[in-house]
Amino acid sequence: LTFSSAPGAVLRGRTACWRIAKLAGHHARSFTIHARADNVSRVRRIRNRATAKGSNTRRVAARARIAIIPAAPRGGGVTG
């Protein structure tokens, strides 16, 4: 997967990071990533990971697995 967009995030390699000053109790903030899957020659199973941490709370994380399915390859296009 690669980033298509991650508004407001600081990108560093494969990590997008948002830093927020404060968040009231029982409130939520959402962050959006648009990702693109590379074309692959065979099925690849990968796992995304999200982590949230704060100075006064414990670190929490979530993971999700997805499978990247090959698309039909495009032939030709070279001098042969």
Partner 1 sequence: MRRAVAIAGAAAAVAAALAAPAHAASAGPPTWREAWIARVVAPVVAHRRPGRGRIVARIQTQAPWNGGPVGLLVLAARGRWLKVLLPQRPNGTSGWIARTRTVVRATRWRITISLAGRRVRLLRNGKTMASSSAVIGKPSTPTPRGRFAVAERVPQPDPHGFLGPWALLLTAHSDVLYDFGGGPGTIAIHGRDGASLLDPLGSAASHGCIRVPNGFVRLLARHAVEGTPVDID
User: What residues make contact with partner 1 under the rule CB under 8 A?
Assistant: 1-4, 6, 9, 11-23, 29, 31, 33, 35-36, 38-41, 44-57, 66, 71-80
CB of 69 to partner 1, least distance (A): 12
CB of 29 to partner 1, least distance (A): 7
3-state SS, residue 75: coil
Burial 47-61 (b: 16+ CB within 10 A, else e): eeeeeeeeeeeeeee
3-state SS, residue 10: strand
CB of 26 to partner 1, least distance (A): 14
